[in-house]
Structure 1
Amino acid sequence: MAPDVSAADTRLSAETIRRRKGGVPIVCLTAYTYPVARLLDDHVDLLLVGDSVAMVLHGHKTTLGASLEMMIAHGQAVMRGSAKACVVVDMPAGSYEDSAAQAVASARRIVDETGCQAVKVEGGVDMAGQIAAIAAAGIPVMGHIGLLPQSVEKDGGYRIKGRTQENVAALFRDADAVEKAGAFSVVIEGTVETVAADLTRHMSIPTIGIGASGDCDGQILVIDDMVGLTVDRVPKFVKEYADLRSVISDAAARYAAEVRSRTFPGPGHVFSASKDKA
């Protein structure tokens, strides 16, 4: 059963996002937890519960470690923590590729159990049938073309797209297929800037860039990358707006020093015989 979300009618819908094509840029960030969703909700138009959660929070090497159950659990948390943003949940690898029927069943489960506004599917021409089936079932779908993290093993690594004429032509075929299938918007990832800009002008639905172009209709980053929590390599396309690595490490160091010196807990952090509140 979907969680009870208060003020659900105040949320941005997938259709509202679709109508933002060519307008004020669409602000998107990933979110995986209740507290982060609460902090981001006032500032963004769209929160993506990305399958990057498998890497960011669960320590997997790729997004292939995400499961349907994992995505649903984090989607529920983000829905509880937000009230305004359009929430989109990634469909993880293995939950939609086999058939249109599988894709619809997985998408329906995600929406029913989280209450989210849309799902996201990676792939272009090869996934157009799945996108069309999900959309026909009344579930809004965000597409994803360019660099596809779920295909990283098949592609032999994270390879930037749009560097050959053949690949550019394939990207345009993917864009047309996703749009024709009924997606309300599309993420363009890891694609040569000029090609991503051309794709944005070519498409009638909003494009959301990540490692793409400032001309895209919106932008998205992984929240942990953006606030400086990523402990491994930070991608080139990321701008760090904060350095929480240092903040957290410094706080932990100060705490450890105070525990070892027995200066924490102090009088203000313990309970007396009177009726102190926790």
Structure 2
Amino acid sequence: MDNNDTAIEPTPQQGSAFKRWLIGVFIDLYKVSMFVVRFFKEVFFPPYEVKEVMKQCYEVGVRSLTIVSVTAFIIGVIFTKQSRPSLSEFGATSWLPRLVSIAIMRALAPLITAIIVAGKVGSSIGAELGSMRVTEQIDAMEVSGTKPFKYLVCTRILATTITVPILATYAGFIALIGGYVNVAQNEGTTYTAFMEQVFEPLGFIDFTSSLAKSIVFGFTIGVVGCYQGYFSTKGTEGVGKAANMAVVTAMFIVFIEEVIIVQIFGWWR
């Protein structure tokens, strides 16, 4: 039997469905691009909502300290504990502080912080703005002559962009403390000796890459959360969908950005 006779060809319905999906993807990319362009157009011009930015920084940063602290400390302890057996096979447990510092400061601290903020803050932003959209509060602000985009969107994106790097730096040091607790318990290393070994392998590029990733991650979480909430539809169902999509999309993009930024800074090492 001829192979051509048994080949399964896509039906017209399948082809049209894929075409609609592809067109929808490009339309969404265009809308997001215009959303980001609008942010940069409005954020640098008055009025400046400084009080609202500070309020959102408090919501993003201070209210996330507990979960970031606990998670970072546990990660430091677990990573150190899991790395010890591999190093002990080669008699290189003295390199454990260096390994922990490189892994945490280069990758784990910014990435874990971004995931936590995306789950906690990103969903909150999406649900809050989505609720305001479906209850027509944003429409009322536009009719009254105020600028809801600057007040609601620009302030939240600025807050996440500013706060995530601070949280990531804080999470890195908390994770190192967790690593020190495990090392001191098993190796008897003093705090001073541990910290000297921790910062020895780190250079300017390491701190720069960590800071750059944190800023990009924070900006991404703010943009995705605000975009999903600001254009939410379909009542309460749309609010839940906006919150869910804010988390899923932000995490997906953060992982892609992690790969890209690591590759870029890898060329400089």
- TM-score normalized by structure 1? 0.21
Q: Which of structures 1 and 2 has the larger relative contact order (alpha carbons within 8 angstroms, sep 6+)?
A: 2
Where is the helix percentage greater, Structure 1 or Structure 2?
2
